[in-house]
Structure formats: C-alpha cells, structure tokens
C-alpha cells in the first residue's frame, strides 16, 4: 500500500461518535449539544489551518478572515439582505470558490515573507477583512455594518431543515443532533481529504517547503504555487466552516471574526500537535470545550466563599491562559504531535 488509508476505526468508536450527542443531551442537557456542534466547526477550522501552518509551515494569524468570508457569503446569498435565498448545494460551491479566491488573493502578497513577517502581514489581512465587514455599508449596504446580517436561512437540504426537529423511523431527532450529524459529515470529509493530501506528492512537497524553502525550490518545487495552493485549500475549509456557522446561528456580525479568534484556532493547532490530524482534532475539541467547562466559575465561588471574589469571565480567561502555559511548558510539541514535530523538540 503506497498511500496509507485512514486507519480503520473500531466499530465501537464509530458508534460512540454517532451516539455522542444523545449521551451528552441525556447527561448534560441540550445546551451542551449546541456547544458540541460549535466544537465541530472549530475542528473544521483547525483542520483547515493545519494545512497552512502544520503542513506548509506558513504561520497565519489571520485565518479567521476566511471563516468570515464564508459566513458572509452564506449570509448574503440566503437572507433578506438582498432577498436571495439560494439552496445549500448552490451556496457551498460558490462559497468554496469565493474562499479559495480570497485565500489566493491574501496569500499572493505574502509569498516572499517568512516567519514573523508573514505572521504580522497575515494578522493585518485578517483585521482588514473584519474592518471591511464593519464598513461596507455605503454607497451600497452590503454587510449591514456592526449590526450584522440577521434572519439568515437555516441550513436545509430540500425540504429538510436542520433547524427543526424531525422524526426518523419513529425516533425523534432533535434539531441540534441533526446538525451534529451534518457537521460531522463535513468534518469527516475534511479529515479524509487532509489525510490523503498529507501522504501525497503535494503533501511531501509542502513538508519540504516547511523544512527548507530554498532547498525545496532548488529541487524543482514551484514553491509559490504550492504555497498558494495551501492558502487556498485552508481558506476553503475555513470558508465552508463559516457558511455552516452562518446557517446554524442565523445571524453573523463582524465581532465573530476578531484576531482573538484567529489566535484561538492557531492555539488549537499548535496545542493539539501541528501537522498531526489526531492532535489537531484533540486540540480543537479541548479548546472549544474548555471555556464552557469553566463557565460556572461564579456559581462555584458563591458556593465555596459565599460571594463572588473574582469576576468569573476574567477568572475564566486566566485559567484558560494558565492551562495553555502549562500544556506548552510540558508538551511543547503538542498533545499528539506529528512524528517530525516530536523529533524536533526531543532530538536536539
């Protein structure tokens, strides 16, 4: 076998993934299924960014821009804003093309940059997109400014709306669980495509560029094209996640696409283990759930000290930060690193 296929998961794991939302709903309540749905979008984003940062080694601090582009593409094509109500199957390919276009357009000027410089420029691009979303209101009101776009059509395929509960074979299927399966499908597809790339001629070329760009070019690799391809693909994954996000949430506004979100996704990739898909998935799930787990801090303080000593949201960020520092101190290569990353940290 030349290209290793994704390792066949044992049946129980597959069943576990299928039953997960039911278990969570039973044990923790419906709110956590919603959090789970959002976590899957985070996974999709992290898998996309992993192509850019993990495979091709391009430090991108503005990745959330593509999430924003995808979200607004969906919002504009399926909301009263322009009176358009395209179906999902038409929005998706359009969104893919738009996101890829943005990936290439924003990647192009950075081709000659490396490391810190690349990070700063991509960060700038991320902010530019957000500022545009905030201000594209005149002469034609496109984005509706800071108020964002509301009443976006729910995700639906034909007559099947993912915003409504259904009954399948007599079993009631809550809307959030249906959405979970839809998002899961996208995540699995993204993982499959990513995995196939990793072990291909293209993936090998990306890794060579990551390791030594000059040597890679000297061996006949068209580094400009390969880097643009990585940007475009990452942007597509991010854009699809954005479209799903818009349809799921029903409204979008620029404040969902701040630098902090870009940093968060980068943290997911780095913390999980750059370049290794299992690690990236683990990192994304961990960082998506951690803030939610820490949410009831105010209540705990009340319980233990009979008053709230520290503002819960501040404390939450503090604990979150401490967790990141501790993890990076003891496992700088990430939770589940790729072979190469583990070696980098432990051979020298």
Partner 1 sequence: MSLLEAKGISKHFGGVQALQNVSLTVEPASIVGLIGPNGAGKTTFFNVLTGVYVPDEGTLTFAGQPLPAGQPHRVARAGLVRTFQNIRVFPQMSVLENVMVGFHGRTHSGLLGAWFNGPAVRREEREIREGAQELLKWVGLQEMARRVASTLSYGAQRRLEIARALATGPRLLALDEPVAGMNGAERGHMAELILRIRAAGIALLVIEHDVRWIAQLCERITVLDHGQRLAEGTSAEIQANPQVIEAYLGHGSHG
* Chain contacts with partner 1 (rule: CB under 8 A): 2-3, 193, 196-197, 200-205, 207-208, 211-212, 214-223, 229, 233, 340-341, 343-344, 347
DSSP class of residue 252 equals B
CA distances from 43 to 100, 212, 259 (A): 19, 28, 18
Min CB(111)–partner 1 separation in Å: 13
Residue 101 Cβ, how far from partner 1 at the closest point, in Å? 16
CB of 202 to partner 1, least distance (A): 6
DSSP 8-class letter at 219: T
**Preceding omega of 83 cis (within 30 degrees of 0):** no
Of 223 and 301, CB closest to partner 1: 223
Asked if 186 contacts 244 with a C-beta cutoff of 8 angstroms, the reply is: yes
- Residue 218 or 260 having the CB closest to partner 1: 218
Instruction: Calculate the CA 49 to chain-centre distance.
Output: 7
Q: How far is the CB of 242 from partner 1 (least distance, A)?
A: 21
Residue 340: Cβ-neighbour burial (10 angstroms; 0-12, 13-18, 19+): middle
Nearer to partner 1, 51 or 286 (CB): 51
Smallest separation (angstroms) from partner 1 to the CB of 232: 10
SS3 for 81? Answer: coil
- Residues 6 or more apart from 279 whose CB is under 8 A from it? 272, 273, 334, 335, 336, 337, 338
**From the CB of 25, what's the least distance to partner 1, in Å?**
35
Residue 107, classified by CB atoms within 10 Å of its CB into exposed (0-12), middle (13-18) or buried (19+), is: buried
CB 8 within 8 A of CB 193: no
Helix (H) or strand (E) holding 159: none
Three-state secondary structure call for residue 212: coil
Q: Please, what is the minimum distance in Å from the beta carbon of residue 336 to partner 1?
A: 17
If the CB atoms of residues 113 and 221 are measured against partner 1, the closer one turns out to be: 221
């Amino acid at each position: 076998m030349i290209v290793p296929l994704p390792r066949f998961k044992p049946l129980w794991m597959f069943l576990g993934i299928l039953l997960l939302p039911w278990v969570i709903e039973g044990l923790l309540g419906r709110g956590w299924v919603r959090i789970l749905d959002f976590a899957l979008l985070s996974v999709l984003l992290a898998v996309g960014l992993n192509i850019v940062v993990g495979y091709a080694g391009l430090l991108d601090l503005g990745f959330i821009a593509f999430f924003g582009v995808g979200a607004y593409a969906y919002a504009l094509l399926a909301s009263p804003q322009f009176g358009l109500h395209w179906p999902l199957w038409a929005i998706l390919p359009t969104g893919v093309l738009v996101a890829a276009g943005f990936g290439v357009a924003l990647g192009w000027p950075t081709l000659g940059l490396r490391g810190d410089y690349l990070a700063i420029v991509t960060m700038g691009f991320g902010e530019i997109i957000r500022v545009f979303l905030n201000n594209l209101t005149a002469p034609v009101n496109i984005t509706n400014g800071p108020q964002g776009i509301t009443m976006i059509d729910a995700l639906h395929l034909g007559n099947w709306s993912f915003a409504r509960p259904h009954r399948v074979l007599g079993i009631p299927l809550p809307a959030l669980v249906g959405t979970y399966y839809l998002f899961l499908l996208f995540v699995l597809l993204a993982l499959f495509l990513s995995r196939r790339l990793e072990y291909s001629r293209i993936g090998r070329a990306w890794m060579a560029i990551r390791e030594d760009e000059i040597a890679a070019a000297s061996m006949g690799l068209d580094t400009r094209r390969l880097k643009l391809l990585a940007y475009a693909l990452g942007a597509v994954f991010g854009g699809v996640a954005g479209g799903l996000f818009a349809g799921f949430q029903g409204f979008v506004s620029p404040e969902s696409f701040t630098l902090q979100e870009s940093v968060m996704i980068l943290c997911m990739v780095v913390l999980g283990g750059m370049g290794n898909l299992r690690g990236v998935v683990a990192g994304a799930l961990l960082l998506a759930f951690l803030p939610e787990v820490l949410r009831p801090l105010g209540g705990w303080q009340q319980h233990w000290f009979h008053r709230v000593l520290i503002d819960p949201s501040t404390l939450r960020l503090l604990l979150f930060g401490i967790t990141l520092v501790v993890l990076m101190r003891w496992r700088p290569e990430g939770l589940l690193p790729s072979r190469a990353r583990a070696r980098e940290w432990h051979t020298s």
